[in-house]
Structure 1
Amino acid sequence: MVKNLPLLLAMIAIGGSATLIINQTAYLPDILFWPLVVLSVILNIWGVIGLILHFWVRKVEG
């Protein structure tokens, strides 16, 4: 399970930084803004769920 941890942390970092970049940008057309917001939210949720499962499995195994 440890080999998945860097991937999960990278997903959260990319999702979080994408959210910050999108919100701090002066102007993005709606056709780019909403898909990027949805993608960053999906990455954040997926990463958090993966981290929760990762630590839960480690707790159950150990």
Structure 2
Amino acid sequence: MKEQHTKHVTYNIAYHFVWCPKYRKDILQGAVAQFVGSEIRRLYETNGWRIGTLNVQEDHVHL
């Protein structure tokens, strides 16, 4: 990700989020996985957030 600059500071803030369904059930497959990925991308675009990597797996999502 790109560094941010202000008059006196250069910084790069990055977060790593992992979301898991209850009991890590394998529900993120097929159309559900596509929907979750597209909704997360829509939220990022709507709010002007930057996303490094989005990885939807069967039992969890990495952001």
TM-score normalized with structure 2 length? 0.32
Higher RCO (CA 8 Å, separation ≥ 6 residues) = 1
Higher helix residue share: 1
Higher strand residue share: 2
